[in-house]
Amino acid sequence: MNLQTLRGSYNLIAGLGSWCGPALYSERHNLRRHSFPLDWVQTPFLSDVNRLLKNKFQGFMELENMIEKDILANYIDDNGYPIFKFGTHEPVRAHYVTDTQYNIDSVHDFPIIPDQAWVLQYPPYKIRLVHRIQTFLNQIAQSQRTLFI
């Protein structure tokens, strides 16, 4: 890769989900205009992200392919800010859920609610995810020059 070819301006900057840092960084520097489907996820395998993009997110985060891991994270809003328990400075914790088809972890999307399984939160999550996917695909199609980070 020649770094000279990366110089210049871009119509769109989109994170590819290696972790949440690219979304946080681009938000803090006013480079992020939308919340995309890979902003608040993580995966160590670029090959799985490439397969996901090639498949245009088909089958992504379908409930039958999702499992909860024994890891906790913080529940955050679309701008990457933690949500706190009412009247405290204690962050709401989130379930750590993995899409086994694409090896991608949803880290911040399912808040822990006492005595409630995370799957009960799946329907509104899926609606938000479908919207983010449609926005992502539309923005990519309209962009003349996109930087993936």
pLDDT of residue 105: 96
Place of tokens 């670029």: 46
pLDDT at 50 > cutoff 90:
yes
| CA angle, 96 then 22 then 92, to 5° | 35
Dig out the tokens for 90 from the structure.
């204690």
pLDDT of residue 137: 97
pLDDT, one tens digit per residue, over 104-149 is 999 999 999 999 999 999 999 999 999 999 999 999 999 999 999 8
Residue at 67: amino acid letter: I
Domain positions in the chain: 13-143
